[in-house]
Amino acid sequence: MKRREFITIIGAAAASWPLAAHAQERVRHIGVLLPAAADDAGMQARIAAFHQGLEQSGWTIGRNVRIDTRWATTDAAEIRRHAAELAALAPDVILAHAATTVGPLLQATRTVPVVFPAVVDPVGAGFVDSLARPGGNATGFMNYEYSLAGKWLELLKQIAPGLTRVAVLRNAATASGPGQFAAIQAVAPTLSVEVNPVNVRDAGEIERAVAVFARAPNGGLIVTASPLVQRHRDLIVALAARHKLPAIYFERLFVAAGGLLSYGPDQIDMYRRAAGYVDRILKGEKPAELPVQAPTKYELAINLKTAKTLGLAVPQTLLAGADEMIE
């Protein structure tokens, strides 16, 4: 063989080595379970942030990872069905939003790693043994500590100082519902506000309870975190407007829909951070040894148009601290 031919053959072989390595690269499998409909714009933004976080860690869909996303809506039966199906597929890890999806998943599997980007009280719900050492097959990120719920009442009183009564919309079927209400109740006497729980089960119950509450003057609403409340977001915002009730919400999507103000963790940031935990699990770390983390970024959003409609003058202190103001 001539020297030139030999060099040509070796060069061609070398050029093919990266392609061969690429073809043999193991494709990992991620499951995603969401308590939302596929057209939910807020959840779509979070999942986009999750995908972005994976890309930054070197995971590319179609090359070295595939993602099986289940939009289970907020229907409990649908969530259980999708949880069982995902668990049976035995992916390398499952991302699951909120207690309503994590609970059914952990009933379906105690071996597949589960990462939650947002759960209010993972210890109280029994998902982990402790925040520092989860101990099982689940770990992730807390929405916030219950004490944050007291901050909602403080902010609502700042923007509507005439408030003397507040209805607290909560999901009493979960540990986080009563927990959030208790934190609000603890702060209420110092602000001279009477708080009343309103259980969230269906649209009719919410509408009747808010209408009855609004019959007396000087009232307002606190909407606590739960997927059920998310499901009735548009209704709750519309009821607050109809009855002219100042209301504070746990996330900015309500303010974007016309709600007065919100304060809570930056959900987009939490999904990016969850991608980091998924990356670490795919690379061999165990969820039992990854501590549950608290949010590091919070955001205050104010709808100035809604404030004007309610006849409220937004204090300068709130304006200065706002991350987003909607005109």
Residue-wise pLDDT tens digits, 144-185: 778 889 999 999 999 999 999 999 999 877 777 888 999 999
Residue 310 has pLDDT above 80, yes or no: yes
Task: For residues 210 and 216, give the distance between their C-alpha atoms in angstroms, rounded to a whole number.
Answer: 11
What is the mean pLDDT of the segment spanning 186-214?
Answer: 93
What is the mean pLDDT of the segment spanning 60-89?
Answer: 95
Q: What is the pLDDT of residue 12?
A: 46
- At 108, is the secondary structure helix, strand, or coil? helix
Q: What is the pLDDT of residue 1?
A: 47
Residue 28 has pLDDT above 90, yes or no: yes
| DSSP annotation of 146 | T
Which comes out higher in pLDDT, residue 202 or 322?
322
Q: Is 322 exposed, middle or buried (0-12, 13-18, 19+ CB in 10 A)?
A: middle
Q: Is 246 exposed, middle or buried (0-12, 13-18, 19+ CB in 10 A)?
A: buried
Pairing mode, if any, of strands 298-303 and 324-326?
parallel
Digit-coded pLDDT (tens) for 100-116: 899 999 999 999 999 99
Query: pTM to 2 decimals?
Result: 0.82
Q: What is the pLDDT of residue 24?
A: 57
Q: What whole-number percentage of the chain has pLDDT above 90?
A: 76
